[in-house]
Amino acid sequence: MKTLSDIHHLAGVKVLVRADFNVPVANDEVADDYRIRMALPTIEFLRRKKAKVILISHLEAADGGNPSLEPVARRLEKLDCPVTFVKDWKNANELIENKLEEGGCILLENLRFFEGEKKNDPKFAAEMASLADIYVNEAFSVSHREHASIVGVPMLIPAYAGVQFEREVTALSKAFNPAHPFLFILGGAKFETKLPLLSKFINIADSVFLGGALANDVFRAKGYETGVSLLSKGSVDLSGFVNNPKLMIPVDVVTQTKEVKPADQVSKTDKIMDCGPKSIMMLKEKIDQAKFILWNGPLGLYEDGYRGPTLDLAKHIAAASEGNGTESIVGSGDTLAAISTLGLQDKFTFISTAGGAMLDFLAKGTLPGIEALK
């Protein structure tokens, strides 16, 4: 995989940077600019080298719609990254050729406005490739998708990994040969997509703690009542894991009535919403002993306001990382939200910009976007 350090001449070179500016937007303003800020080192490097920078990205609303990237352009300006926003792609080529100066930067409108993006349409990929001399992938968090801007364009022009992209690969790869004791904490839902990850890391980690709806599936596999709690769709075979001594699950849970119950005493009308206090104390003991912690996903239904245990977890890991020198690597949207809420961004060894891509990389050791750069 080639990186920016492999490019020896950039002055006047047109560089197409596939960034991930898929950030939360509220009232037409960016609500969390973490992903934007993580792309700045690459943008600034290219501008210092007098490249002509062409930024492309997608943006998807919570309801699945595709809004304009204009709020992102405004936030880039506030982050001291002057950028010209181009709504109409038809004018892009002329603007790039005649008006984009060395060290200048433009941001093109949302990629998702074009059907060819998700379909990896060769014609659309060729259209994007025609805008530039080289391509830089600074969108690790989308690189598990075989989209035109991720795998199509790098097949057509020289392609390189951006600064954050390279950092993601380097940091996450440490999980394949970690320091021990190694604690893996996996939360969220959709066990059907995370089973390969559990299969792999149950053999690498010393302890694996499952929280969120994932724990509910294990409760069911153990024969516990789960009431009306969120479960994975279809049948998930956990027979090879439920009795593994490395596997940890909550010993107590919080229900929809805010009542704390032992995990094996949930009623048929209960809905499990979060981990209980005994579970957090049990997890804290493991955190204090760990030399390497990998965490992805909340411990409860974070989006429904059940955030206390996840926030406590973030505090404990941050304290261990800072006080004990524990190496900590974390990711996923709700995990990042918890860390941001607490202002602990600088207390972890590495914070991934990715959710699904992080999980896919950890499970497979590569991604379509990485392969496209080889």
pLDDT per residue over 352-371, tens digit each? 999 889 999 999 999 999 99
Amino acid letter, 197: L
CB 169 within 8 A of CB 143: no
Amino acid letter, 227: G
| Domain match, 197 and 103 both | no
Whether residue 130 is contained in a domain is answered as yes
| Domain match, 183 and 161 both | no
| Domain match, 210 and 144 both | no
> Rounded to an integer, what distance in angstroms lies between the CA atom of residue 59 and that of residue 62?
10
Domain finish residue from 117, 132, 166: 166
In this prediction, residue 348 has a pLDDT band, given cuts at 50, 70 and 90, of very high
Does residue 249 register a pLDDT over 80? Answer: yes
Strands (E), 101-151: 105-108, 134-138
207 C-beta neighbours (distance < 10 Å), count:
20
For residue 267, what pLDDT is reported?
Answer: 97
- CA of residue 260 relative to chain centroid, distance: 31
> Rounded to an integer, what distance in angstroms lies between the CA atom of residue 352 and that of residue 164?
9
Whether residue 112 is contained in a domain is answered as yes
| Domain match, 72 and 210 both | no
Whether the upstream peptide bond of residue 24 has omega within 30° of 0, thus cis, is no
Q: What is the torsional sign of CA 172, 137, 355, 73?
A: positive
Q: For the chain, what is the domain count? A: 2
> Rounded to an integer, what distance in angstroms lies between the CA atom of residue 194 and that of residue 171?
20
> Rounded to an integer, what distance in angstroms lies between the CA atom of residue 21 and that of residue 138?
10
Whether residue 374 is contained in a domain is answered as no
| Domain match, 130 and 251 both | no
Query: Which pTM value belongs to this model?
Result: 0.92
The half-sphere exposure of 25 on its side-chain side, counting CA atoms within 13 A, is 23
| Domain match, 210 and 155 both | no
Q: Give the least confident one: 38-52, 130-144, 192-206.
A: 192-206
The CATH number that applies at residue 158 is 3.40.50.1260
Q: 299-327 pLDDT, tens per residue?
A: 999 989 999 999 999 999 999 999 999 99
**Backbone phi and psi for residue 203, each to the nearest 5 degrees, phi listed first:** -95, -20
| Domain match, 9 and 113 both | yes
CB 260 within 8 A of CB 253: yes
| Domain match, 152 and 182 both | no
Domain of residue 50 covers 4-166
Q: Give the least confident one: 13-17, 218-222, 253-257, 335-339.
A: 335-339
Count of residues for the chain? 374
| Domain match, 129 and 264 both | no
> Rounded to an integer, what distance in angstroms lies between the CA atom of residue 212 and that of residue 190?
10
| Domain match, 113 and 233 both | no
pLDDT above 90 as % of the chain = 87
Q: 71-111 pLDDT, tens per residue?
A: 999 999 999 999 999 999 998 999 999 999 999 999 999 99
Q: Tell which residue, 366, 6, 348, 22, has the closest CA to residue 169.
A: 366
Domain finish residue from 166, 186, 208: 166
CB 161 within 8 A of CB 19: no
> Rounded to an integer, what distance in angstroms lies between the CA atom of residue 292 and that of residue 184?
8
For residue 239, what pLDDT is reported?
Answer: 86
Angle 283-254-218 from CA coordinates, rounded to 5°: 65
- Where would I find the H helices in the chain? 34-48, 70-78, 92-98, 115-118, 122-129, 163-173, 191-201, 212-221, 277-289, 308-323, 333-342, 356-364, 368-371
Whether residue 314 is contained in a domain is answered as yes
> Rounded to an integer, what distance in angstroms lies between the CA atom of residue 248 and that of residue 241?
10
| Domain match, 183 and 302 both | yes
Whether residue 146 is contained in a domain is answered as yes
Whether residue 357 is contained in a domain is answered as yes
For residue 49, what pLDDT is reported?
Answer: 97
CB 26 within 8 A of CB 72: no
For residue 337, what pLDDT is reported?
Answer: 84
Amino acid letter, 237: D
Whether residue 31 is contained in a domain is answered as yes
Domain finish residue from 125, 141, 166: 166
> Rounded to an integer, what distance in angstroms lies between the CA atom of residue 21 and that of residue 43?
13
* Structure-token pair, residue 91: 């004018």
The half-sphere exposure of 314 on its side-chain side, counting CA atoms within 13 A, is 27
* Mean predicted confidence (pLDDT) in 236-242: 88
> Rounded to an integer, what distance in angstroms lies between the CA atom of residue 42 and that of residue 57?
14
For residue 2, what pLDDT is reported?
Answer: 95
Does residue 235 register a pLDDT over 80? Answer: no
Q: 149-206 pLDDT, tens per residue?
A: 999 999 999 999 999 999 999 999 999 999 999 999 999 888 888 888 999 999 999 9
Whether residue 371 is contained in a domain is answered as no
| Domain match, 182 and 280 both | yes
CB 128 within 8 A of CB 89: no
Instruction: Spell out a b/e string for 174-197, using b for 16 or more CB atoms within 10 Å of the CB, else e.
Output: ebeebeeebbbbbbbbbbeebbeb
